[in-house]
Every structure is written in structure tokens, then in C-alpha cells.
Amino acid sequence: MIDVLSCASVHRQLTDNGFDFFAGVPDSLLKNFCAYVSENTRADRHVIAANEGAAVALAAGSYLASGRVGVVYMQNSGLGNAVNPLVSLAAPSVYGVPMLLVIGWRGEPGTKDEPQHVHQGRVTPDMLEALRIGYTELPTNSDEAERCLWKAMNLALDAAAPYALLVRKGTFEPHFPVAAALDEAAPMTREAALTWALAAIDERAVVVATTGYTSRELWEHRRKRGEDDRADFLTVGSMGHASQVAMGVALRRPSRSVYCLDGDGAMIMHMGALAVIGSSGLKNLKHVVLNNGVHDSVGGQPTVCRDIDVPAIARACGYGFAATTDSLAGLAEVFPPFRASKGPCLLEIRIRPGARPDLGRPTIDPQSQKTRVMELLAC
């Protein structure tokens, strides 16, 4: 039998030892642990953060106020976001803030993973070494894991520094989150919204899609219909940066409309981009936010995006047009003025979480995709 760890035991061992504050950005590889933490941690001791750097800072603030050590969970892709506060806030030569980093090791050498994870997986230990952060792999045997956790907590405390646990795929036993109630206010699926919007955009438009299900659905949509997808850029990694990729393209190709298909988790991750887009005055950048209120692609953990007024934020940032809709009838109404807008514009489409279980993944490798887009944009 293959060993798997009980989420409950790990959570109990951490909290019993005073590691009782959790912050992070979810990861598919940690989704069982994330779901357990969400359901079994007091609301004021768990924050699903905007990005991984914010999670490190939250753990630091919690430590300042309580002396209790925080647990920061993330996918290894999030290490990049976390580097600055790890190095210039938590490091022992600066403030010396102990914390435990629980890092999902996508792209672990020797395993098969998507192209965007392979390099990150390879360099993850090197990054931790360069940051002088001690780390170890979390064993899947429960006795060994208990000893490992014990040691890790003590190392973080003794060094007053972050200490990292690398978590392999399949480490945690399944823990199924309590099913979110079907969002009646958002009857549309992402697929329906995308199908509608892609049929309505201008012919020569460039489409920059965000990380996760959105780019996978865009890819599959084109395949199914045999549509030309040379102007699609899938941003398979680099979550939260699709809108700035789109802005870079829009600046250099003013004669083409550039649509960014963003997610709510991705938008929040680097929300400062909205201020820069809004202030740019760009006439050809069209920002679509597919807001399902969750990090759908990695397990459906909530974002705060259903509780904020996305169009109002966009307007306050300088977008000339911003609207929201949650229905196909609403799309038919707001899409024409959105498309015709002569300044940065944003359309929030409220959708329901979920994707088809047999959703495929892009089979084109990222470099070929880049070459195709560049050839097209050179014309």
C-alpha cells in the first residue's frame, strides 16, 4: 500500500505546537490539505492570500502580534512572488521571523508535468538554497512525517527563520471540500461565456488567456471548431501576469485589439496591473475578467472576488468603460459598447465554477506557441 498523510494529523501536529496561523495561495498538489485547513481553522487564523508574498507578510504580522508561528502554503511557482518578503522581511539577518513554508513541488524531477512546471520543479531546491532557506521533503509515511514536522518546526523556531517542506504529488490523503452551493446568481459556465465572447471579438484580435482552465478551455475551443489560433497566447505559467503581457502587446500593435481573458484569482494576485492599464489610455486593450469567485483550476478554494465591485475598481483605476454581467442576455447588451470602447475597458463576466472533467491540455509546446504569435504579429 502506498503511504499517504492524513491532513488532520498534520494540521493537529502543527496547531498543537502553536503553529496555528495559516496563509497561502492554493495549489492543486496541496488541494486536500488546503481544503482541510479551510474547514478546520478559525476564520481569523486562515487567509487565502492575494499572492504568496502577501502570505509571508501575513504570517509575519500574525507572529508580531502573537508570537505564534505561521504556516505559509504555496505552489512552488509562488516562490517567485514570495522571494522579496522572505529575503528582506523574514530572513534571520533582517527581522528573523520563523515560519513554516509548505510548498507543493510541481515539476519534481523524475515526474511528468506540464512544461511550465518542469523548469520551476528543477530549480526549486536551488532557489531555496540561494535564499539560504533550510528545507526537506515531507515524507509520506506518517511516523516519518511526524518526526520531520517536529524537526522542521524546531529548526524554524531555533533559527528564527523560514523553513520549507517540499510536498510531492500524492502526499496527502484525499479530503473533499464541502461542496460549494451552486451559484444560482451565475448560471453561465466558463465555456459558455468564452464561446459567446470569442464569437463576438474582432477578427484580427490577439487573445491573451490566463493560467489554468481558461487557457485550457480556449485551446480546446479552437481545436473543436478548427479555428485559427495563431493569435492566442495561453500564458500557461506566470499566474496574474496575463494582463501585462496583453498590455505589452497592445502597446506595440496599436492597430490590433488585444483581449486579456483573466481570472479573478489571477487579477487579485497582481491587482496593481489594473492601475497601470487604466492610466495607460490604451485604446486597444480589452480586459475580460471571468469571475467564478474561486481558484477553480486548483481545487475551487474561494477568492474574495465575489465580494468586491470589480467594475468600480477598474473605473477608479482609469478604465473608461467597465461593466458586469452574469448572463448571455447581459453579454449581448454590454459586449458591443465594451468592444467599441476607445480606452482601456473591462468586462466582468460572473460565471459558475467548474469545467468539463475531460478538459484537455494544450499539446503545443510554449516555444512553438510563442513563435507562431510572433510570426503573426510581425505581419
Applying the rule CB under 6 A, the residues between 59 and 78 that interact with ligand TPP are: 75, 77-78
For residues 15 and 120, which CB has a smaller minimum distance to ligand TPP in the complex?
120
Span from 32-40, 89-97, 173-181, 260-268 in contact with ligand TPP (CB under 6 A) = 260-268
- Told to check if 297 binds ligand TPP by CB under 6 A, we report yes
DSSP assignment string, 271-309:
THHHHHHHHH--SSEEEEEEE-SEEGGGT-EE-SGGGS-
Q: Pick out residues in 262-281 that bind ligand TPP (CB under 6 A).
A: 263-266
- In angstroms, rounded to a whole number, what is the distance separating the alpha carbons of residues 251 and 155? 49
Parallel, antiparallel or unpaired: strands 21-24 and 46-48: parallel
First CA to last CA distance, the chain: 57
If one asks whether residue 292 binds ligand TPP (CB under 6 A), the answer comes out as yes
- Of all residues in the shown chain, the one whose CB is closest to ligand TPP is 263
Any contact of residue 294 with ligand TPP (CB under 6 A)? yes
Any contact of residue 15 with ligand TPP (CB under 6 A)? no
Asked if 286 and 319 touch (Cβ cutoff 8 Å), the reply is no
Q: Which of 298, 331, 346, 349 binds ligand TPP (CB under 6 A)?
A: 298
The CB-of-283 to ligand TPP minimum distance in angstroms stands at 26
Pick from 25, 128, 234, 313: which binds ligand TPP (CB under 6 A)?
25
Assess 38 for contact with ligand TPP (CB under 6 A): no
Q: Site size for ligand TPP, by CB under 6 A?
A: 24
CB closer to ligand TPP, 116 vs 341 = 116
Closest of 71, 12, 24 to residue 302, by C-alpha: 24
| Amino acid, res. 266 | A
User: Among the residues of 113-169, which ranges form H helices?
Assistant: 115-130, 142-159
Shortest spacing between CB 35 and ligand TPP, in angstroms? 14
Half-sphere exposure of residue 75, counting CA atoms within 13 Å on the CB side?
22
Q: Does 183 bind ligand TPP (CB under 6 A)?
A: no
Produce one character per residue of 291-318: b if its CB has 16 or more CB atoms within 10 Å, e if not: bbbbbbbbbbbbbebbeeebbebbbebb
Q: Which residues within the stretch 215-244 sit at the binding site for ligand TPP (CB under 6 A)?
A: 239
Nearest distance in Å: CB 263, ligand TPP: 2
Local structure of residue 237 (DSSP, 8 states):
S
**Part in contact with ligand TPP (CB under 6 A); list of ranges 21-29, 122-130, 172-180, 220-228:** 21-29
The stretch near ligand TPP (CB under 6 A) out of 11-19, 55-63, 261-269, 319-327 is 261-269
From residue 63, alpha-carbon distances to 58, 66, 88, 152 in Å are 9, 5, 16, 17
Toward ligand TPP, which CB reaches closer, 196 or 256?
196
Cβ(299)–Cβ(34) under 8 Å?
yes
Q: Which is nearer to ligand TPP, 102 or 239 (CB)?
A: 239
129 three-state secondary structure: helix
230 in Cβ contact with 372 (< 8 Å)? yes
Q: Which window, 64-72, 211-219, 312-320, 368-376, contacts ligand TPP (CB under 6 A)?
A: 211-219
Name the site residues for ligand TPP (rule: CB under 6 A). 25-27, 75, 77-78, 81, 210-214, 239, 263-266, 292, 294-298, 303
